[in-house]
Structure 1
Amino acid sequence: MRRTERLLWVVAMAVLVVFAVPWFLWRDATVVAGLPLWLWWHVGWMVLASGVFALFAHRAWGVGIESPEEAGHTEPTPGERV
């Protein structure tokens, strides 16, 4: 994995963490479908975060932990995704 892609994953995860709690909506009294707007933001953000995490799990699991060269094998083992 290229260094640029690793950096993008770090930035993506940082953005997900920073906006997970909608501090900027806490004093907003807007209600949508009987629930406060900040709660809708949080639920929607968690759906987005789960999608990003699923993408991360498929594409970049193990980033910064181990590379195939360090592990001593260059071909995928049976059952391993490529």
Structure 2
Amino acid sequence: MVRSKSDLVWIPTFAILVVFAVPWFLWGVDDVVAGLPIWLWWHVGWMGLCALAFSRFTDGAWDRLMGVEADGGSD
């Protein structure tokens, strides 16, 4: 299977999403915003970003990168 340049963008995209899922840089920060710790707001925003990225992935590259047929029908 030949991969296009746009398909190869997903590999580092998901690697970045995994690396920053745990906010290492916020360890020990006790700041509170709107009654919740800042690290919790990080997770809320990060999960929104992950959902958006996965939505874009499923719309455009899922069939090619997961090795499934694009017709969507079953036999």
**In the alignment, which residue of structure 2 is the partner of 1:72?**
none
Give, in angstroms, the shift of residue 5 of structure 1: 1.4
* Runs of 4+ with deviation above 6 angstroms: none
Q: Identity of paired residues, percent?
A: 50
Residues 18 and 63 from structure 1, CA distance in 2 versus in 1: closer, same or farther, beyond 3 angstroms? farther
**In the alignment, which residue of structure 2 is the partner of 1:3?**
4
**In the alignment, which residue of structure 2 is the partner of 1:71?**
none
Partner amino acid, structure 1, of 2:13: A
**In the alignment, which residue of structure 2 is the partner of 1:57?**
58
The structure number with the bigger radius of gyration is 1
Partner amino acid, structure 2, of 1:54: S
**In the alignment, which residue of structure 1 is the partner of 2:19?**
18
Cα offsets for 1:27-66 (capped at 9, x unmatched):
1111001111011001100001001000000000034443
| Residue segments in structure 1 that go unaligned for 5+ positions in a row | 69-75
**Count of residue pairs the alignment pairs up:** 72
- CA distance, structure 1, for counterparts of residue 44 and residue 25 of structure 2: 15
RMSD of aligned alpha carbons: 2.2
